[in-house]
Amino acid sequence: MSKLIIRYLAFSVITFFILLSCNKSSQTPSGIVRFDVQHKANGSTLELNKLIYTNAAGNQYMVTEVQWFVSKVKLQKSDGSTFVLKNGEPIYFDTGIPATLSQSFDKVPAGSYTGISFIFGLDETQNKSLRFTNPPESFMFWPDYLGGGYHYMKLNGKWLNVNGLIEPFNFHLGIGQIYDTIAPKSAWVNMNDCCKSARHCEGYQPPQKTMPITGFVQNYFEVSLPLAFTIEENKTQSLNLQMNIEQWFKEPHIYDHNHWGGSIMQQQAAMKAGCDNGHNVFTLSIPR
């Protein structure tokens, strides 16, 4: 009999503690942050497939689609601490998939914040081949031979070239390569240096057109966007994250499609210019 009572007692004490701890965790008040992503050109909403824009180099251009990743998104609290969204996982945006352009994240601690920061693209700890096997993210894969992982961004479009023809461009950013410019064309790629990110690409040889690759460049960069906002308990705070397309081609480098041509995945200098310009591409605001 007494045994039973003790059991009963133990049970209720334990239950009490469990309830207590539950209470405690739900007491940390949290809210939801929603990112509404907008693509803009020269201050107004980007109109796809229309040859109506002119970049800093004077190229008339249109955009057909924009697909991109940010990762390690951090919300900065006024007290100096940070809250990392989605455990730092990459987040994907796509002009062709409306659902990606408005994404909510819950369990954000309530309080006042001073801004956000993120990595544009994926850094070396995250940019691993086959980490995404499902579309649409998997369609962003960056070939292992070129460094592996994923495109940070595909910004596709067309521009009016010097000959007056409308030519396609693929402004694709990702891991860059260092080519051995003085090696004879017949030289083979050093297998150890090539494609460290994926085991299955040992043994590659370069295609005849490209020079041997001796190393890779991580082109991702960090963006900080100051903005005062508050997360209130159980409420949604939306933030407008804006990509200003013209900025990709503007500062500090004037990016001329006639100079770089339609494809840049194997032109580190072009990707470097693009990524340098990327620091000024984003703005963050509270919707009115």
Q: How far is the CB of 193 from another protein (least distance, A)?
A: 15
| Minimum CB distance to Cu ion smaller for 175 or for 265 | 265
158 in contact with Cu ion (CB under 5 A) = no
Count of positions (residues) in the chain = 288
The pairing of strands 166-173 and 82-84 is unpaired
| Residue 283 binding another protein, by CB under 8 A | no
Using rule CB under 5 A, residue 68 touches Cu ion: no
Pick the closer one to another protein by CB: 205 or 230.
205
* The one-letter amino acid at 155: L
Report in angstroms how near the CB of residue 48 gets to another protein at its nearest: 9
Count Cβ atoms within 10 A of the Cβ of residue 232 and give its class: 0-12 exposed, 13-18 middle, 19 or more buried.
middle
11 near another protein (CB under 8 A)? yes
Q: 183: closest CA among 143, 161, 213? A: 213
Q: Give residues 228-247 in contact with another protein (rule: CB under 8 A).
A: none
Site string for another protein, 45-74 (x = CB under 8 A): ----x--------------x----------
Sequence-separated (6 or more) residues with CB below 8 Å from residue 207: none
Q: Is 139 in the site for another protein (CB under 8 A)?
A: yes
Determine if 217 is a binding residue for another protein (CB under 8 A). no
Beta strands in the chain (DSSP E): 30-41, 44-45, 53-54, 60-77, 82-84, 91-94, 102-109, 111-120, 153-160, 166-173, 176-179, 213-217, 221-231, 236-244, 282-285
The one among 142, 152, 216, 282 contacting another protein by CB under 8 A: 142
Residue 264 CB, shortest distance to Cu ion, in Å, is 9
Residues near Cu ion (CB under 5 A): 172, 265
